[in-house]
Amino acid sequence: MSNFALPPCPTPCENGVLVPLSDFGGHGASVLYKAWVCTDPDCGYNIKIRNGEIHLNEEIHQGRISRDR
């Protein structure tokens, strides 16, 4: 990752910065910066890209822990 400053959270939380998250697409290709979330867990601000559409502040769910096969 190159050296760049993470953007501040655009909400009044004043504690967090937005960090990028990556994922894999439906055919296995990597998708960089698919989502951005605030680092303050009490804030929960997030931006996600799904099927070319931008979604703001969707509920954040706990992920599953995957195990090696």
* Residue 1 CA: distances (Å) to CA of 6, 31, 32, 33: 12, 14, 11, 12
| Contact (CB, 8 A) for 38 and 16 | yes
Q: What is the pLDDT along the chain (69 residues), one digit of tens a residue?
A: 567 789 999 988 888 999 999 888 888 888 888 899 999 989 989 999 888 899 999 887 777 666 665
CA distance 51 to 31: 12
What does pTM read for this prediction? 0.71
